[in-house]
Amino acid sequence: MSKFKILLLASVLFVSACSSPDLGTKIAATGVGTLAQDQRVSGRTFLMEPRIEDLTSNTFNIRYIEISFGGGTPRNVRDMAIEQCSSMDKVAVYKTTSRGLVQMNTVKAYYECIAT
């Protein structure tokens, strides 16, 4: 296969992967969820500041790095979600988390903002 064909195939795969919501977003769209204020939390992030991604009028996810084997979402991630929804006069609902098999990787916590 020529270098051009490989580059073209890689470009098509990249564009198609970026064109629709990721699997975690699709999974988060199902189910009821838990009020963020009631979700299980443990510790806080410290290697990377969590950041909000894929923000819509009702949903978003927060990406952060996890390096522990504990359960629960870091406290500052949960607080960031509550603050984001509060800025829209809504309440944060925790939907799900996606993480890899190896800890010390990036994690996405999915949230939805609902009217009170």
> Phi/psi zone of residue 5: left (φ > 0), alpha (ψ -120 to 50 degrees), beta?
alpha
* Cα–Cα distance measured from residue 14 to residue 8, given in angstroms and rounded to the nearest whole number: 10
On the question of pLDDT at 49 being above 70, the answer is yes
Would you say the pTM of this structure is higher than 0.75?
A: no
Instruction: For residues 72-87, give the mean pLDDT.
Output: 94
Contacts of residue 76, defined as CB under 8 A and 6 or more positions apart, other chains included, come to 44, 45, 50
Q: What is the structure's pLDDT at 112?
A: 95
